[in-house]
Structure formats: C-alpha cells, structure tokens
Structure 1
Amino acid sequence: MRLFKGLLAAAALSMVALAASAAEYKSEYKVSTVVGKPFPWGLSAERWAELVEERTDGRIKMKVYPGAQLVQGDQTKEFTAIRQGIIDMAVGSTINWSPQVKELNLFSLPFLMPDYEAIDALTQGEVGQAIFEAIDAKGVLPLAWSENGFRELSNSKHPVRTPEDLAGLKIRVVGSPLYNDTFTALGANPTQMSWADAQPALSTGAVDGQENPMAIYGAAKLYTLGQTHLTMWRYVADPLVMAVSKRVWETFTPEDQAIVREAAVEAGRYGVELAREGLTGENPAYLEELRGLGVEVVEPTAEERAKFVAATRPVYEAWKEKIGAELVEKAEQAIGK
C-alpha cells in the first residue's frame, strides 16, 4: 500500500510539473518563412505546425507568417531575430542565413552538387551535422532539413547553354556576394533585388532573367513574364533549415521537445518530396508540362556543364577558403562517394 501511495504521489507530482510547464507556454508560436503556400517551403512549415498541434493536443500552437513579415520583409534579418527570441521558429533558407553562419555558403558554391543524391549526401551525413553544430553555436537550434530545390536559370532573351550565352544578360540574384561573384564570372550583369521587386522587373524587362528553384518558377508563373528560356543547370541548391529559438526550446518539456523535433523531421521530408516532384529523371512530368506551355527547356550536356564549372572555378576556390577548406573538402569527399 505504501508503495502504491508513493507511485500515486510521484505521478501526481509529474502531472503538476507538466501542467505548470504547459501553463507557461505561449498561446501562439510565430513561425517565419520567406514564402508561403503553395510553395514547398510554405507547405512544409504548415505541415510542421499541424503535426505539432495535433501531437501535443493543442499545447503548442504554431502559426506561419510568410513573406518575412516578422522582420518587415527583410529576410536577411530572420536568423538574428530567431537568435534574439523575436521569432519563435522558422523554416529558413541557407542563403538568407549565410551572412550569420558562413558555413551555409557551402550550398551556394557553384556546381558543387551535380544531383539530388549529392544534396542528400551533404544534409544527411557528417557535413550536415557539422553545419547544424555551426548554427547551434550561433544561438539557434536546428531540428531538421527541408528543401527549396536546385536554383535554375531563366531569361527572356535566348537559350543559355554555355557561359558565352550569358554575356551581358541582366540577371536578378539574391542578396549574397557569392551570387554576385558567380554571375560576374559567367559574364552576366548580376542585379540584387528582393523577390517582391523582382517580379515587376521581369514583367517590364528591367531585368532579363533570374535564378530560382522550380517551385518558385512554377508557382509564380514566370513563363507568363517572358521567362520562356529555362536552363536546368543545377548550379547551386537551397536546402532549408527547420529551427527554433533556444529561448523557446528551453520552455518545452522533454516530451514536447521530442514531438516538435520529430514533427520537424517529418515535415522536412515532405518539403523535400514536394521540391523534387516532377523534376527527376524518373519523373520529369513537370518539365514536360512546361514544354507544353511554350517554355524552351535546356538541359546542358556534360561537356556544356563543364564550361560553366571552369568559368566559375576561381570563385569556387576563393569562397572555399572563406567557408572553411576542411568543411568543403569533406563535402567533396561525401559527394564523391
């Protein structure tokens, strides 16, 4: 009887502790994304929120705020805002977070990753873990990888098969010096601007082209903005990081931490599947659909791709030192296997 009473008391204390902890939870946890539905990026964030609310019986309610609205539209400030506790959670771009975590520039090294297997070799292996440790050291807790996809090239002028075809083209690029360096090396005229500004610039012809994952090209219907020349060159990729503010994480019970982490992993896999749908050798359905809409899809041969690699090699070598030669070499070895 005494043992039974002791077990009851322990259980009661555990329930009180759980209730006390849950009572400290926020009524809403803000999740930042740069884009929302119907992009894989936004959909994976929504899936994460749904899974967490369901599996915590509503103790943790996450609301997705797309368009980087929690940082007044400046996506480069997202990482700092999470670290400071202004943002609770995020599904963030490795590109947007790279100014604060230099190791994330790895995925933007030109022509490092030739295929999806190469992305997986990095994110799901020793390199991915090392990058997560670098993010963690900056005060943000990474939980899982998702994906925005390979960044492909489109323009309104002519097909691009070699660096010579890029000469003089005004290409909208993201706000990263590495992208400026890459397109300058290819002979183009890189122009940094936000995505909100990019779409009207494409429609008016103020810029000739852009580079983005296919999910964004399709959802934004860029082929209706004159972007009818598409080059599937897989020059860089943009894995996404599903992360939480450490300040928030420490308020969750161990049980809820496990739920949030597992849900992030599951939602991240969902995002990867969406980002690759219809774009693989086994299933090129989306590319065929675009051809049916009048888009000229160029898939460079190995010889043509080699010319892009050669033209950007000085940029690669310079940034290899900035990112960390040891990490880049580990990445090269992982892809080589």
Structure 2
Amino acid sequence: MLRRTFVAAAMTAALLAAGVAQAQTYRAEYRLSTTLGPAFAWGQAGERWIELVREKTQGRINIKLYSGNSLVGGEQTREFTAIRQGVIDMSIGSTINWSPQIKELNLFSLPFLMPDYKAMDALTQGEVGKDLFTILDKRGDVVPLAWGENGFREMSNSKRAITSPADMKGMKFRVVGSPLYNETFTALGANPTQMSWADAQPALASGAVDGQENPLSVFVAAKLTNVGQKHLTLWHYVADPLIFVVNRQVWNSWTPADREAVRQAALQAGRENVDKARKGIAGSDNAVLKQIEASGVTVTHLTPEQREAFVKATRPVYDKWAKTIGADLVKKAEAAIAKR
C-alpha cells in the first residue's frame, strides 16, 4: 500500500514537472505579421485573433501585432520565407504575397477565374481550399488554420474612366510583386510597376504611377481619393483570400489543448473577417460604393460584353499560368465554380 502511494506521488510529481517544463517553452510574447494595419479589416482580423487566443488560452499565449510587414522591412513577398525561418511566429497572410514561394496560391490571381463571392467561397471553403492547406502543410514549416479575406480587387486611376483594354494603354499601374500581375497588366496594354503598399501611396500622390488595384475596403480606408484616384472600374478580375498560419516550431511548443484553442480562435476570427470585408460591398449591400461615389469618384460598372474584352485579352496569361499552378488544380477549381 505504501509503495503504491509512493509510486502515485512520484508519477504526480513527474507530471507536474513536465507541465512546468512545458510551460517554460511558452514565450512571453509571439509576433503576428500582417500587411495592413488596424485601420483595415485585415489588421482588425489580426487584433481579433490576438484577443480570442488570449481569451481561449486564459492568457497563456500573448501575441503582438506587427503590421505593414514591418518584420521583413515592408517587403510583402518575403513574409512567407520569414515565417518558415522563424523570424515571424504567426501571420494572416495574402495568397498573393505568398505565391512566389507557393506557386499553387497563384490560383486566386488567375485573371477572371472567379466571377463572384460564391465562386471564391466554392474554392476556399471546398476541396480546393483543403488541397491548398495540404500543400502548405507539406512544406513542413507552417501550420495553416483558417481562411480570411481581403476581397475582390478593383481598378482605379487618376486619368480617365476605363471600359476597355484600349483605355489602359500606356498607363502606369502599381501592382504587387508577382510576375503574374505584371503579365496580366502588360497583356492589357498597361505599364505595370511592382512596389510595396508602403511605397504605393506616395507614388500615386506624386503621379509616378497613374493607378492601382485593390479591394474597395482598402480604397476607402486608405483614402485613395486623396491621392488622385478619381476613376474606379469594377471588374472583379482577381480576389485576395487571406490565410491564418503559425510557424510549426511555435505550434509544436504549445500543448494540444492550446493548439486547438489557437485553431478555433483563427476560425472564428476568419469568419468575422470575411463578414467585415464584405460589409457594404457584397450582394445588395452597396454602402461602401455609395460612399466612394459621394466622394466624387466616377464608378464604371462593366457590362458583360465589356468585361469579356478584358477576359479575352488576358486569356493567354491565364492559360500559361494554369500550367505553372497545376492543370489538375485549376480544372478542379473551375469545376467547383461551375457547380456553385
């Protein structure tokens, strides 16, 4: 009897010691990277994830937000590599920014693949979304947890209303650092210039570039009317889903219960982020568009025929990049969209 008591006490002590050792692996603070800050739905998603994680782990996991890709000197396309290297612990990242390292994420940047929000949901919330998470997971260094959203990217400029590719000829557009965007705008007759978002606004203000492409929520929050963006074309040419991830070493340092808490926090923050990103934009809710028009911006709604001219002009780019992304994945995406 005495021996059993001693063994039980020893086991309890060992478990407590293991718990203390495990607790010691937790850092005082973890680094969460986003491109846009709390003035935008993207940065707000970061703040919400932080809040939910702290709540669900009873304060065991504390996170600080680093927006503007400040942990990589503002270089958006370096973020994914920095997560893999452990420079960044967690991120809500753009599929666009990570596509140079994960070629399959270029799927969302195929010009005119997704005509509406139902099409985007068919991909992120269906088998294609699961396949992309599997691809990320197999890279070994990151753990993907949830989808969020920056939104469909629309085109604005300071020169004129754009209703056809011919209207874009020779115009300078700021685009993100992805070859696919360069090729898409070149196919439309424009002169694309790759630069970070931090450099984009001064370039627009000075006239170094004529236009840009971003979701409407970003157009409003960044006050792009103040930097000469007086013409807006709604064309839904690509979308920008976001992905909540954690560096795998950081993930493995947490208890299974805390990992699940972080996952559930990401899923909840992701759902809330999608709702916020679409508020005033999707469906019959056009409050954001009315706000933009009220600021003196000329808004051009493309007719189906006008949109088709852009689709045709960029089709060679689509076909070329479909091979790079993976023909089977693209076909699966096209089938999912057709069934939406």
Interval containing the TM-score (normalised by the shorter chain): over 0.9
Matches within 5 A, 1:180-199: 180-199=182-201
State the distance in 1 between where 2:290 and 2:160 align. 19
State the distance in 1 between where 2:23 and 2:234 align. 48
Among 223, 236, 239, the residue aligned to 1:237:
239
Residue 276 to residue 4, structure 1, CA distance change in 2 (3 Å): farther
CA apart distance, 1:155: 0.4
Give the conservation status (yes or no) of the 8 Å contact 2:176–2:195.
yes
Q: Output one character per residue of 1:78-115: Cα deviation in whole Å (capped at 9) or x when no partner.
A: 11111111211011111111111000000000000000
Give the conservation status (yes or no) of the 8 Å contact 2:148–2:273.
yes
Q: Output one character per residue of 1:188-219: Cα deviation in whole Å (capped at 9) or x when no partner.
A: 11111121221111112111100111222111
Matches within 5 A, 1:43-82: 43-82=44-83
**Counterpart in 1 of 2:215?**
213
CA apart distance, 1:24: 1.4
Give the conservation status (yes or no) of the 8 Å contact 1:18–1:253.
no
**Counterpart in 1 of 2:115?**
114
Residue 125 to residue 6, structure 1, CA distance change in 2 (3 Å): farther
State the distance in 1 between where 2:170 and 2:302 align. 20
State the distance in 1 between where 2:125 and 2:5 align. 46
Among 272, 275, 278, the residue aligned to 1:273:
275
69-78 vs 261-270, greater mean Cα deviation = 69-78
CA apart distance, 1:19: 3.6
CA apart distance, 1:20: 2.9
State the distance in 1 between where 2:284 and 2:8 align. 57
**Counterpart in 2 of 1:284?**
286
Give the conservation status (yes or no) of the 8 Å contact 2:216–2:288.
no
State the distance in 2 between where 1:186 and 1:292 align. 29
The total of aligned residue pairs comes to: 337
Identity of aligned residues (%): 60
**Counterpart in 2 of 1:126?**
127
Q: Output one character per residue of 1:280-306: Cα deviation in whole Å (capped at 9) or x when no partner.
A: 222011101111111111121111111
Runs of 4+ in 1 over 2 A off after TM superposition: 2-20
**Counterpart in 2 of 1:93?**
94
State the distance in 2 between where 1:83 and 1:53 align. 24
Do residues 140 (structure 1) and 142 (structure 2) align?
A: yes
Among 167, 170, 173, the residue aligned to 2:172:
170
Q: CA RMSD in A?
A: 1.9
Give the conservation status (yes or no) of the 8 Å contact 2:144–2:245.
yes
Counterpart of 1:304, as a letter, is Q
CA apart distance, 1:12: 6.8
Segments of structure 1 that go 5 or more residues without pairing to the other structure are none
Residue 113 to residue 7, structure 1, CA distance change in 2 (3 Å): farther
Give the conservation status (yes or no) of the 8 Å contact 1:90–1:244.
yes
Counterpart of 2:104, as a letter, is E
Do residues 103 (structure 1) and 141 (structure 2) align?
A: no
Segments of structure 2 that go 5 or more residues without pairing to the other structure are none
CA apart distance, 1:17: 3.6
Give the conservation status (yes or no) of the 8 Å contact 1:149–1:238.
yes
Secondary structure of residue in 2 paired with 1:286: helix
Residue 273 to residue 13, structure 1, CA distance change in 2 (3 Å): farther
Matches within 5 A, 1:246-257: 246-257=248-259
Secondary structure of residue in 2 paired with 1:35: coil
Q: TM-score, normalising length from structure 2?
A: 0.95
Matches within 5 A, 1:251-330: 251-330=253-332
State the distance in 2 between where 1:298 and 1:6 align. 77
CA apart distance, 1:15: 5.1
**Counterpart in 1 of 2:156?**
154
